[in-house]
Structure 1
């Protein structure tokens, strides 16, 4: 066993790896013999994995197999790789078109996670990097991805976090945030009006997959002088068009209905 490892976690992975190469599954006795572990230990670990969907039990044979949770996690991982690969050339086009920094991000709980970023040469310094997490409530990316949820779901999500003011423009009132997200649903894009970083404005649009589900978003970020409020509609159309191109690359079919029942 590796130094500093946690024994119960090591054993759980041993069970998972043993089941991974047995399509027909294994019983507790077979796992015990294969891994040289006590049946009680295996049973306890299997019950935890079973409760979380990582293994499933055949009621007829009493054998255990890997569960659908692994399929879900694998799909998310593979989707993110495909998403970044397919989106990258379009992000470069958008950077050149609008002279702004472009981000590609996903939503993880109440946080936005950047998975790609392309900066314009000599652009203003943005406090973002690939892999960094920022609150969804004060970013255009976050607000556009929160718009896929109902008001009740958004309110429940916001109730679990502290709405801290990053700038004087940060919206920290839940009802005002809900109004903002309703606006995002209606117009199809979101704006960050210096809500995360002073002097920086952002516009974001959603990305849909082959199922018509919103899975990510892209945004442009630049100083107020580059993205003034009076040009939001004009700039948003370019961001929306780029998001639509990426969605098509991911299998989105024109005319499919999105989560609101509207055509994208």
Structure 2
């Protein structure tokens, strides 16, 4: 009896996986052929899936994944704690680069620090958890803004004052938008003493299951910690950490 139950479950998973591989729906005969099931068995499984919302029937009579499956996935993703998922990768960054690593989210025209790993460096007030600072002069803010659509960015920048914090701060909106295009193409952003003198930061975006940039992960240090010749290497580490965290949040490239 137990073996029969396991076999029935395996067949249901075969049907589910086949539905996930099709675009626009699949007919019963094709589904049965791809799964190696008889049409009657495939139909019984589909009937149960339809009743439970795991499959839906299209107007032309074919079958596709049902909305209940996406609801389950959404509930699972919502239950994930971003800080928990990102922490191992922040810790790995800090160990590999000997630089404090941080997790940040957009908060209007600011970036809020919501996580950090800083065992090799003194806990600087500049990047303590809970600290907010202007997004336009931070790598963590810029890499998130660069992921917005043109319409979303237009709306977001309405709240920006573009105040100068150092001589390197980008203070003109047009120049900032041009800079964000470069950030988007590159996949990571840098704060080159734009928020504070002798302070640099490299960050990359973290995406969720829907492809939305929900946070950024980055490292910071002085000009000596992050000299020009080290930036590309550090950026590669940061981008990998962001990609791995994104995967944990359900993102699929």
Smaller-chain TM-score bracket? 0.5 to 0.7
- Give the structure 2 partner of residue 238 of structure 1: 237
- Give the structure 2 partner of residue 117 of structure 1: 116
Q: How far apart are residue 208 of structure 1 and its match?
A: 1.1
Distance 1:158 1:243 in 2: 24
Structure 2: 5+ residue stretches without partners? 1-74
Distance 1:173 1:108 in 2: 21
Q: Is the 8 A contact 2:200 2:221 kept in 1?
A: yes
Q: Is the 8 A contact 1:110 1:135 kept in 2?
A: yes
Q: Is the 8 A contact 1:219 1:239 kept in 2?
A: yes
Distance 1:232 1:151 in 2: 28
Distance 2:164 2:119 in 1: 28
Q: How far apart are residue 124 of structure 1 and its match?
A: 7.6
For normalisation by structure 1, the TM-score amounts to: 0.63
- Give the structure 1 partner of residue 71 of structure 2: none
Pairing of 1:145-164 with structure 2 (within 5 A): 145-164=144-163
Post-superposition Cα deviations, 1:109-147, rounded to whole Å, max 9, x if no partner, equal 221111101214244835122122211100000000001
Structure 1 residues 91 and 170 mapped into 2: Cα distance closer, same or farther (>3 Å)?
same
Q: Is the 8 A contact 1:155 1:178 kept in 2?
A: no
- Give the structure 1 partner of residue 190 of structure 2: 191
- Give the structure 2 partner of residue 95 of structure 1: 94
Post-superposition Cα deviations, 1:168-221, rounded to whole Å, max 9, x if no partner, equal 111111111111100011010000001111101000001111222211110100
Q: Is the 8 A contact 1:148 1:214 kept in 2?
A: yes
Distance 1:190 1:82 in 2: 24
Post-superposition Cα deviations, 1:39-81, rounded to whole Å, max 9, x if no partner, equal xxxxxxxxxxxxxxxxxxxxxxxxxxxxxxxxxxxx8xx56x6
Structure 1 residues 249 and 160 mapped into 2: Cα distance closer, same or farther (>3 Å)?
closer
- Give the structure 2 partner of residue 225 of structure 1: 224
**For 1:241, what is the secondary structure of its paired residue?**
helix
Structure 1 residues 237 and 91 mapped into 2: Cα distance closer, same or farther (>3 Å)?
same
**For 2:81, what is the secondary structure of its paired residue?**
helix
Structure 1: 5+ residue stretches without partners? 1-74, 257-264
Structure 1 residues 124 and 200 mapped into 2: Cα distance closer, same or farther (>3 Å)?
farther
Post-superposition Cα deviations, 1:220-239, rounded to whole Å, max 9, x if no partner, equal 00111111123222110100
- Give the structure 2 partner of residue 28 of structure 1: none
Structure 1 residues 122 and 153 mapped into 2: Cα distance closer, same or farther (>3 Å)?
closer
Distance 2:209 2:156 in 1: 26
- Give the structure 2 partner of residue 134 of structure 1: 133
Which structure is larger by alpha-carbon Rg, 1 or 2? 2
For normalisation by structure 2, the TM-score amounts to: 0.65
1 or 2, which has the higher helix percentage?
2
Is 1:251 the counterpart of 2:222? The answer is no
**For 1:215, what is the secondary structure of its paired residue?**
strand
* Aligned length, in residue pairs: 180
The alignment yields a C-alpha RMSD, in angstroms, of: 2.3
